[in-house]
Amino acid sequence: MKDDTAVHPAPLPAAQPYRRIAVLGAGSWGTALAATLAEAGRDLRIWGRDAAVMAAINARHENPAYLPGVELPAGLRAEADLAAALEGAEAALIVVPSPGVRSIARALARHAAPGIPVAVCAKGIEAESGLLMTQVAEAELAGHPVGVISGPTFAREAALGHPTAATVAFPFAFTDRLEPAESPAVRMAASICTATFRAYVSDDLIGVEIGGAVKNVIAIACGMMTGLGYGENTRAALITRGLDEIKALAEALGGRRETVTGLSGTGDLVLTCSSPTSRNMALGQQLGLGVPRAECFDGAPVVVEGEINAGSITSLAARLGVPMPICDTVRSILQDGADPAVAFAALWSRPIEAEPRAMDLAFGHPAHSL
């Protein structure tokens, strides 16, 4: 017999996805995000500088330069003209390497409709200013809500429909908290969700961005130690202590430590530090093996975000008085030419510290004087 006294949960409020979205940047991650959004039913335009690649996406439904062999949704349309890509867009994503975010945001401001939300999908800290990527974009996009999408997301796997999750973070104004289903964060999350891509929502942009930026440097460290011949104990130690460095920097900037334990921190850190699919770990591994930087990746000009940002991250940390010994070690190798074996030996013989910060103690390491 049916139990008429059963309490049924109230229906969840519906969030209206953005109808037309422009993705600016046709690298591997930009293409994967565009494919995901098209699969979710969005009217999708992707922009890239290479007209030949844009033509291939339209004609062959494939990005032969960055995601060869991955079939892209037929509804995904590529544009080599930025204004055409942004025409009628209700939201936009910036998916270019971190040094290009400012110029793309400036160009977007000239062509996008006023007030549309913009999600930055680059990970890093601007070297000249010390600003996070959303802060860089905000400086060029007055009147536009600016947020970030970040998480443990290898592009090829996401484009192939492997179950993937990421965090969508935007500021939550007073009105957003009254009507969260109308907020840019929730609407963007609703826009990108498919049967295999799951989005979570956050209001902590700093925590999300710091996790995404610093994990790349920690991944280079893991790769270097792997290249030097060390195994899983070493990698686990670097991941764990690297996570503590991320938490400390995020907290110093006003972010939440809780955020760093989520997808954009722990999740992304574990993924990037665990597979040579990560360009950051792959670079570190080659350097640890003694391959000269110019010969890494068979001499191809591969953009490695952790290499770009190691200096800007450690400079920012120094200004804030936040110790980041793993990131400092990586920076010393990449920028000062320090020997990886010697640098990591020095890292391991630093003064002994307590793991709980509340204990606040340190004393000399016996190996330091050997």
Are 130 and 315 spatial neighbours (Cβ–Cβ below 8 Å)? yes
DSSP 3-state of 91: strand
Query: What CATH code is carried by the domain that includes residue 311?
Result: 1.10.1040.10
Are both 247 and 346 inside the same structural domain?
Answer: yes
Please indicate, yes or no, if residue 222 is contained in any of the structural domains: yes
User: Which mean pLDDT values do the consecutive 10-residue runs of the chain (370 residues) have?
Assistant: 61 88 97 97 96 96 96 95 97 96 97 97 93 97 97 97 98 88 95 97 97 96 97 97 97 95 96 93 96 95 93 96 97 96 95 86 77
Are both 161 and 120 inside the same structural domain?
Answer: yes
Q: In which element (H, E) is residue 40 found? A: none
Are both 120 and 24 inside the same structural domain?
Answer: yes
Are both 142 and 240 inside the same structural domain?
Answer: no
Name the domain boundary from 203, 225, 248: 203
Q: What is the pLDDT of residue 175?
A: 87
Are both 221 and 143 inside the same structural domain?
Answer: no
Are both 235 and 196 inside the same structural domain?
Answer: no
Please indicate, yes or no, if residue 217 is contained in any of the structural domains: yes
Residues belonging to the chain: 370
Q: What is the pLDDT of residue 173?
A: 87
Please indicate, yes or no, if residue 6 is contained in any of the structural domains: no
Q: What is the pLDDT of residue 357?
A: 81
pTM: 0.92
- What is the separation, in whole angstroms, between the first and last Cα of the chain? 79
Q: What are phi and psi of 276, to 5 degrees?
A: -70, -5
Name the domain boundary from 157, 188, 203: 203
Query: What CATH code is carried by the domain that includes residue 79?
Result: 3.40.50.720
Are both 213 and 142 inside the same structural domain?
Answer: no
Are both 153 and 33 inside the same structural domain?
Answer: yes
Q: What is the pLDDT of residue 6?
A: 59
Are both 199 and 268 inside the same structural domain?
Answer: no
180, two tokens: 């969260």
| Residue 51 structural domain | 20-203
Please indicate, yes or no, if residue 15 is contained in any of the structural domains: no
Are both 230 and 144 inside the same structural domain?
Answer: no
The gap from C-alpha 182 to its chain's centroid, in whole angstroms, comes to: 25
Q: How many domains does the chain have?
A: 2
Q: What is the pLDDT of residue 206?
A: 97
Q: What is the pLDDT of residue 11?
A: 74
Are both 140 and 232 inside the same structural domain?
Answer: no
Dihedral sign for Cα atoms in the order 175, 176, 182, 183: positive
Are both 163 and 273 inside the same structural domain?
Answer: no
Of the residues 2, 123, 215, 247, only one is catalytic, namely 215
Please indicate, yes or no, if residue 12 is contained in any of the structural domains: no
Please indicate, yes or no, if residue 219 is contained in any of the structural domains: yes
Name the domain boundary from 138, 170, 203: 203
Known catalytic membership, residue 215: yes
Calculate the alpha carbon distances from 317 to 125, 208, 213, 358 in Å: 11, 17, 13, 20
Please indicate, yes or no, if residue 194 is contained in any of the structural domains: yes
- Residue 25 half-sphere exposure toward CB, CA atoms < 13 A: 24
* Pairing relationship of beta strands 197-202 and 352-353 according to DSSP bridges: unpaired
**Residue that is written with structure tokens 């973070």 in the block:** 169
Please indicate, yes or no, if residue 163 is contained in any of the structural domains: yes
The C-alpha atoms of residue 370 and residue 340 are separated, in whole angstroms, by: 19
